[in-house]
Amino acid sequence: MVVKIMSYFEEFLEEDLDKYFKRLNEFSYVENFDLIHDGLLNLRDNQQFIEMGRIPKTGYNKEDRKWKFEEDKIPFIKAAKNGLSNFPLLYLPPLTKIVQYDFFIALYSMIQLNYIYCANEKLDDDDYKSIILGDVAAYFTYFVEDFENPKTLPEPSEDFFKQITNIKYETKNVNKFFNCIWDIISPYTNAYRTDINYCRTLGFAALYLCACSALKNNHDSITFDDVVTGYLTIFKLFYIDIRPLVKKGYANYRGFYYKNKKAGYPKKILGADYYSTEK
């Protein structure tokens, strides 16, 4: 009986995927389309992609840590919060902004899921601090597909994030292309019984990175190239261990903190370490 139910389920999955891939193939003229097409096919048997999506069901992502922080005390997060618009009651682009603050937070969520999967345990206070206070999210934001080889980071700026929140798709077809990719990921997450919000979080983070790609490449709007870059960057999270990069980003933060603390740097611009609940 169980086998029969599974076969029916797989049959419906195949029908959905066949339908969605046909829609996607309408965009075969897009440069690097094959990378997106193959990347989506490879997700089906990617254990890291599947298990990352199941983490919220295990409770591994639940917050039982003592360390807390305030968004307004961390320059990078504060700039994003003030620059990006809040999620509306109804998300209806182009009537509402395409990229919201929630999409920025979704990137942090994807980073945390990767970290938890690779560590195979809950985040402790030190792990959480490394992600929140460190530069890893900034690496994705400013360097996108080159996040693993970061250069000097710019100062956090509300204006940068205002550009992101005001960006639009170059054409309706670019928007359609983005959605076609997202539509294929959804049956995967349903089939593998991942957390109900996993596909949504993944898509939000991908769209945020599409907008970041547009700014990085001096585009006035999100192009086909930016959609390809945004999704491929997210796909990388299903093949790597993010922990070394997180530690590197946190080391940069700690170096800045101690260097400038010694020099008498104004406390108000320091990160949440100063404002931590720790004594």
DSSP secondary structure string for all residues of 138-190: HHHHHHGGGTTS--PPPPP-HHHHHHHHT--BSSHHHHHHHHHHHHHHHHHHH
Mean pLDDT (whole number) for 105-127: 93
The answer as to whether 275 is a domain residue is no
CA dihedral 181, 19, 198, 228 (to 10 degrees): -10
The answer as to whether 278 is a domain residue is no
> Between these two residues, 274 and 93, which has the higher pLDDT value?
93
Whose CA is closest to 271, among 262, 256, 279? 256
| pTM for this model (two decimals) | 0.86
Q: How many domains does the chain have?
A: 1
The answer as to whether 276 is a domain residue is no
The answer as to whether 247 is a domain residue is yes
Q: Give Dmax over CA atoms of the chain in angstroms.
A: 71
The answer as to whether 279 is a domain residue is no
Residue ranges making up the domain that contains 232:
2-269
The answer as to whether 274 is a domain residue is no
The answer as to whether 11 is a domain residue is yes
Q: For 31-46, write each residue's pLDDT tens digit.
A: 999 999 999 999 988 9
Alpha-carbon distance of 106 to 204, in angstroms, equals 6
Q: Centre a 10 Å sphere on the Cβ of residue 142 and count the other Cβ atoms it contains.
A: 19
Instruction: Say what the pLDDT of residue 191 is.
Output: 83
Is the confidence at residue 216, as pLDDT, over 80?
yes
The answer as to whether 40 is a domain residue is yes
